[in-house]
Structure 1
């Protein structure tokens, strides 16, 4: 059984976007009805402001052709066949949200009845404009030539690793590296110390530092056999639940994960956390990558054996719903086109390293991708409905503060509600229903009275309050079953029942449709035309095509990402661009080797990671050599290890780890889930319908369109822990301070003590602890982060409350666990760096402590130790792996 949520607004947009029936389908009786009842009214009442002949297209709306009438103007489609509510022309004729013709009485009831009948019969319209046909400048010969000559368009092939002299190489990976070094007369650096490799391995695999005991154990094993030491440590770390939190965050970077829409009106996504947890759990379970991709592209279409699996698949499709959205875009057709474009862009760049969205307006400038290939994908992605969850707007009132484009959520087939929603009593439900009915009647009567001549104007503020409360109550009621239990929802997509044809748009303009383009796949990456079943949207076929073991790019792109995260740079330095304008691979045969190994391992990410970390090249030192530098300044050939600064999450989590404050349990949902539907402004979560724009404590929870939430429920849930996909919740400690009251505290969450992957990622309001250290911009696909060193980072390390709190906790830990000054100094260094201080460091620290004011008093000793601990947390040794 499939669980679907219907939303008339999005379907209306889509119908307008994909076009309507051909003129040949209009019967003689329908044509006669249009010519006698509809066209005369349009000519007399509308063409003066909305036609090509008059030279007017106010609001971007033209009504003199069938196609342009359906496309509509800046506010959306003028006519949606079969849908009175979605047809804004009918809305204007009946003086609902718009008044047309302007400054006039309502048209006669007979005319309105004719238009009602016409729309309900499917809006048959015999008018037809000449359809432009765009011819591509990229022909079949050019596509075939590119397939034959360009490396990225050819299937990866395993080649025998080169023979190498000596005993440096341990694996085939090393042999490919060594062969390039020898050819360029370079020598690899010597092996790094056991201490350095241990830190490298722990941070790379779980994002946390090793303890002193773990380093000692690793050193002992290293002394016997370095390869075995690394392999055994890797096996343990790959099974750690912290592995998924580390590597899941890498995927969230490219999936542009965030908990708000961003852009002009930044609305929260209270259900986004489900996708985050799905990604983490998928990495921990080593879900085969081909299955992982298929679930995200077409989870709603895959066969399932249980409701649990079906729910997981629905959550996975949040990948397509997660992107930034201009929810204040007035033109629904433009919004639908931009939504599909963003989905195509993220899918092709992340999965196959190809920016096919560049062909939206014209043939691709660099790669053999004609514009028709882009619209072939629009035919696939456009034939689904996206459920991102945005509350309804106030029907034209206070539009600057409200969302113009709305969406429901998908109902899940299991009981796994937002943990911050509570059951309501039947009495409360009935009270809300009665209030909703009363308000709806009052608003309807008020609007009817306003249309009467001489009526006293009703203040807009009153209408806004009534409308907002109606929307709030409607959505809140939609979030509960008849017994008052909260319903479980998620973000995601669903296929349309009936696929609709797509037209190419001239220069990407929605007002200039050209020829119909059938759904399909990029031809330069396909051996044969797409085989899409009759009546299918083609999305499941696309998901299976992109994960085919013979696809030239999918395995290469992911193998390159894994290599990059472990070695510091990709074999292809442009991880989202494997095209002709991207970087050429430094070791093409090695990349093919990794891709083939990846596929033959069953698409196991953990298996490929294990192969790489047990290679010789992974353990070499980062020491500098002038001669080698002069030959290869960018270290493209990997003659030494790349020095790497820890990323934002590792710095944050390592501070919590060494201070002893880290909470390794997964927190319930997220701050955004607790707050519900809010608008983000100046670091605060603001009540969506607060007409004044002031911060409010009242949250809009995450029911079907919005529901209930708020700080009052924090105590009820503060000790809950979420299991996977609705599993049992375990008891655990979580301080109330970790969840600030919505609308009153900033989103920095400096007091949170769980891992940074669970901090709220709100577009334009990323927590300071992450943003200052080059956190991935959540509105973009970020395959490789920047790594900067800036004054802002130094100021953060000196002054931020999170840093000072961890320094204080670390100092108290050191004082409590060690009895003498020497022991405390040694412990502080071991906790922060995994090693004891050397003689120079001991001397410098003693001088620092001796100079510290009032060091002899107990308070002075604590303050001095706090200052010392803060300096250790701010040091380069703490922030760099090598």
Structure 2
């Protein structure tokens, strides 16, 4: 159940300072206030209280200010206690409602800010404000009771903005319609009008093309491109520029990198645990993402392929299988629960903007996400496995290298297979011969003990394998019915009281012997060695089955032998362990040897030039995993069983369990369904953020109850609906945003607007943005005329000499040893899904531009570019350098400073190199206006 204390554990009101001598006066003040202002509420007020206020108070307040607990002496479950206030005095002022301390606190307008964990949504603040302005009417029924778990869930789902259906908003009226080129502008201007603000003027053409070029392809425009755009006076000049940039292969590299942050992409697995630490084929996922963006793959299909490409009809082109890298390129642990948690977190935050991972050990403390829902998703991902051989999804580029690669791979694979097959055969033989030991334990230990870690560890001293023991327990439990031919006698004997076992056994054995439905060999074995305890029963059965196994190939078996052979040798027999699961049953030395052989294969695939591209995919396990809640997140303590299904808060009470294999395809379809309001909102919020510099929802990966409401909710829904109506096309979404007047605004500060909206939440100007690490590095290489625009393939080292000038998106990402350079420029952590990179200003950033050998090398090449040395003129060369870097001519002051700087150099060559690096160090080079 969804515990009330965990759903919304917020302190909404209270925690005012404690002051002496106030308690006695408080109640009389409340009584007099109630007497003076205690008129009976109207029917409309009662309805408002019951529908809006009562659920809000019960959900938000009573955890800390209810019948059982009163923080700072404040109780809020009746009108009398509300008016009485807390230890520091009244919190409601009915004479001047707007000055009520409670409203000041929840609006975050004073020193006391409640709840301290985050501001309430604006719509809930508005409900409380209106209620207090009414005089805080309260029905005569008195106190309000805390909501039940189901009521809390329903309230959260019905009241939180993010869970509401996406509605088509009407276009608002604005004061200056001529400034609104598109619906986006109407929504933005309506908020500006309400704040008595106006949009900033449009940026000039040079600024606009530089902004568009970096936004859409992550590279600066060339001087010729700038000149052509500035000179083009046709009304569709900007639209044609946008279309050209969106059609560029560089678009996918730019926007694919944004997605790789969300997908926590890296080229290493994290914790290697004896395996090769590098992924051999992670790059195929990166290349898939770039290809998907360039091809404008509909976003809903993009999501589905990343979760379940193997479940789709793909035709001859199998490259989409690489999409499953979304699930497999994350950090790897030596623990299935941790691996599954990592995937659940990436899927839920990356696609839905929900922190489902917070429900691993208990119900989510804030959002309506119970642990049952977490483990429903756990079951989906635990029902998958990585195939032993990854599928080839492309042709080798060098035939001779491929043949050499394949020959060595075959030899390494044979060594691995031979070792695993030998261990597997030994495992099957040993397990079957030791059946008496396993069944003796099954007969004497309760089922709950099999999940106890200490018990499992104690078994290893006798080389009893806990997994095999559990298989035997489940197998016998399923068949130990009184009418079962083999295990019916087991059931009858196990039902005896242990204390009276020896005395009651003869009668039971006599009954068994006279019943023809029971297996003849079982009856003979029990008669030959009458058991005196439950352990004896297990050993008699085990000895019989082991004997049957040892004689499995003998001709003319006695009656009843076929039934017993099935117990030992059928595909569903406990000891018929599949070969691909054999590793789980090996001892430590055997596992280490197997890991060593696997590492040789992985290392060969990483280092060989001839290795063809393969998809890092998943497939469904032969038998889906039926999940149950891990009590407090402990995999050894099993709680309630749950079906594989979607989140209740999004799917509602009528959701159906997933029935197709693991359920990944059904999960993907639920995530992209039209009745799921989150997926479209989450992605359009991020696209807006990448273009404008600030998201509409301030927490791009958390749309839960602690998130701030959107600054422009109607705009968010408008964009979400446009995305859906235009076939989930991200390129159309880009056009919608970047062709708006809102996007065209200048980025210059305006003091009068900043005084009203210092954070620019209303978008009265464009936000100036610093280039990310990748765009900065690519721009340095482009300035030098050395940028390598080849696409795809294995990763390259960005920090090793000789320096590569390939685009940074193709750089090698080591999640355990991320270069300091990456960290200095706020590169997204590859250990978790990241929608919004932090932005810091630290000395290392300037030091990189001043001292880095890479920057010095690019500066030297930039200075030596022949196309910049125009007629030997210093002034013309400075102008050419400015146009190449900034897309504009230098001012007269800048030109003069440049001439003086070059003239002061020890030699012309050194002077121009230093001047080139000085220009590369400017803020204008590193920022986009």
Same fold (TM over 0.5): yes
Is the contact made by 1:215 and 1:834 (CA closer than 8 Å) also made in structure 2? yes
Cα deviation digits, residues 30-82 of structure 1 (max 9, x gap): xxxxxxxxxxxxxxxxxxxxxxxxxxxxxxxxxxxxxxxxxxxxxxxxxxxxx
RMSD: 3.3
Is the contact made by 1:138 and 1:369 (CA closer than 8 Å) also made in structure 2? no
Equivalent-residue separation in structure 2 for 1:303 and 1:433 (angstroms): 30
Change over 3 Å in CA distance of 1:355–1:750 after alignment to 2: farther
1:876 aligns with 2:920: no
1:424 aligns with 2:404: yes
Change over 3 Å in CA distance of 1:641–1:418 after alignment to 2: farther
Cα deviation digits, residues 192-239 of structure 1 (max 9, x gap): 111111110000000011111111221122x554xx222111011011
1:165 aligns with 2:165: no
Change over 3 Å in CA distance of 1:471–1:775 after alignment to 2: closer
Is the contact made by 2:288 and 2:319 (CA closer than 8 Å) also made in structure 1? yes
Equivalent-residue separation in structure 2 for 1:543 and 1:835 (angstroms): 47
Which residue of 2 is the match for residue 652 of structure 1? 777
Equivalent-residue separation in structure 2 for 1:604 and 1:432 (angstroms): 45
Secondary structure of the residue aligned to 2:806 is: coil
Change over 3 Å in CA distance of 1:343–1:786 after alignment to 2: same
Cα deviation digits, residues 734-790 of structure 1 (max 9, x gap): xxxxx6xxxxxx954661111110111111334555433211111121111122222
| Aligned-residue offset at 1:426 | 9.4
Is the contact made by 2:287 and 2:792 (CA closer than 8 Å) also made in structure 1? no
| Aligned-residue offset at 1:168 | 1.0
Which residue of 1 is the match for residue 338 of structure 2? 338
Is the contact made by 1:520 and 1:529 (CA closer than 8 Å) also made in structure 2? no
Which residue of 1 is the match for residue 123 of structure 2? none
Cα deviation digits, residues 68-123 of structure 1 (max 9, x gap): xxxxxxxxxxxxxxxxxxxxxxxxxxxxxxxxxxxxxxxxxxxxxxxxxxxxxxxx
1:784 aligns with 2:836: yes
Which of 825, 830, 835 is the aligned partner of 2:878?
A: 825
Is the contact made by 1:747 and 1:760 (CA closer than 8 Å) also made in structure 2? no
| Aligned-residue offset at 1:479 | 11
1:314 aligns with 2:367: no
* Residue segments in structure 1 that go unaligned for 5+ positions in a row: 1-136, 330-334, 388-407, 445-461, 672-738, 740-745, 854-859
Secondary structure of the residue aligned to 2:628 is: strand
Which residue of 1 is the match for residue 621 of structure 2? 496
Equivalent-residue separation in structure 1 for 2:631 and 2:767 (angstroms): 47
1:808 aligns with 2:855: no
1:218 aligns with 2:271: no
Is the contact made by 1:648 and 1:771 (CA closer than 8 Å) also made in structure 2? no
TM-score, normalised on structure 1? Answer: 0.65
1:324 aligns with 2:331: yes
Equivalent-residue separation in structure 1 for 2:810 and 2:246 (angstroms): 20
Which residue of 1 is the match for residue 252 of structure 2? 244
Equivalent-residue separation in structure 2 for 1:505 and 1:428 (angstroms): 44
Which residue of 1 is the match for residue 187 of structure 2? 176
Change over 3 Å in CA distance of 1:352–1:843 after alignment to 2: same
Equivalent-residue separation in structure 2 for 1:520 and 1:585 (angstroms): 29
| Aligned-residue offset at 1:465 | 12
| Aligned-residue offset at 1:827 | 1.1
Secondary structure of the residue aligned to 1:422 is: helix
1:608 aligns with 2:733: yes
Is the contact made by 1:195 and 1:215 (CA closer than 8 Å) also made in structure 2? yes
Which residue of 1 is the match for residue 128 of structure 2? none
Cα deviation digits, residues 513-570 of structure 1 (max 9, x gap): 1121111111111145333464632221111011012211000000111100100011
| Aligned-residue offset at 1:429 | 7.8
Equivalent-residue separation in structure 2 for 1:186 and 1:420 (angstroms): 68
Which of 203, 212, 220 is the aligned partner of 2:214?
A: 203
Is the contact made by 1:498 and 1:535 (CA closer than 8 Å) also made in structure 2? no
Which residue of 2 is the match for residue 357 of structure 1? 357
Which residue of 1 is the match for residue 521 of structure 2? none
Equivalent-residue separation in structure 1 for 2:197 and 2:673 (angstroms): 38
Secondary structure of the residue aligned to 1:524 is: helix
Which of 882, 898, 904 is the aligned partner of 1:845?
A: 898
Equivalent-residue separation in structure 2 for 1:518 and 1:434 (angstroms): 40
Secondary structure of the residue aligned to 1:424 is: helix
* Residue segments in structure 2 that go unaligned for 5+ positions in a row: 1-146, 425-588
| Aligned-residue offset at 1:164 | 1.7
Equivalent-residue separation in structure 2 for 1:748 and 1:478 (angstroms): 22
| Aligned-residue offset at 1:442 | 13
Equivalent-residue separation in structure 1 for 2:846 and 2:755 (angstroms): 32
Equivalent-residue separation in structure 1 for 2:869 and 2:884 (angstroms): 12
Equivalent-residue separation in structure 2 for 1:540 and 1:426 (angstroms): 34
Equivalent-residue separation in structure 2 for 1:157 and 1:773 (angstroms): 39
Equivalent pairs, count: 616
Is the contact made by 2:393 and 2:615 (CA closer than 8 Å) also made in structure 1? no
Equivalent-residue separation in structure 1 for 2:399 and 2:774 (angstroms): 25
| Aligned-residue offset at 1:803 | 0.3
Cα deviation digits, residues 565-604 of structure 1 (max 9, x gap): 1000110011000111122100000000000000000000
Is the contact made by 2:402 and 2:612 (CA closer than 8 Å) also made in structure 1? no
Equivalent-residue separation in structure 2 for 1:541 and 1:630 (angstroms): 50
Equivalent-residue separation in structure 2 for 1:752 and 1:526 (angstroms): 49
Is the contact made by 1:667 and 1:758 (CA closer than 8 Å) also made in structure 2? yes
Change over 3 Å in CA distance of 1:189–1:298 after alignment to 2: same
1:141 aligns with 2:175: no
Which residue of 2 is the match for residue 293 of structure 1? 303
Is the contact made by 1:748 and 1:766 (CA closer than 8 Å) also made in structure 2? no
Is the contact made by 1:147 and 1:153 (CA closer than 8 Å) also made in structure 2? yes
Equivalent-residue separation in structure 2 for 1:386 and 1:442 (angstroms): 22
1:794 aligns with 2:846: yes
1:836 aligns with 2:836: no
> Greater share of helix residues, 1 or 2?
2
Secondary structure of the residue aligned to 2:244 is: helix
**Which has the greater radius of gyration?**
2
Change over 3 Å in CA distance of 1:156–1:470 after alignment to 2: closer
Which residue of 2 is the match for residue 561 of structure 1? 686
Deviating more after overlay: 277-286 vs 164-173: 164-173
Is the contact made by 2:660 and 2:666 (CA closer than 8 Å) also made in structure 1? no
| Aligned-residue offset at 1:500 | 2.4
Cα deviation digits, residues 671-704 of structure 1 (max 9, x gap): 4xxxxxxxxxxxxxxxxxxxxxxxxxxxxxxxxx
Which residue of 1 is the match for residue 472 of structure 2? none
| Aligned-residue offset at 1:488 | 5.1
Is the contact made by 1:419 and 1:668 (CA closer than 8 Å) also made in structure 2? no
1:412 aligns with 2:392: yes
Cα deviation digits, residues 126-160 of structure 1 (max 9, x gap): xxxxxxxxxxx973322222222211111111111
Within 5 A, what are the aligned runs for 1:682-697? none
Is the contact made by 1:503 and 1:517 (CA closer than 8 Å) also made in structure 2? yes
1:262 aligns with 2:270: yes
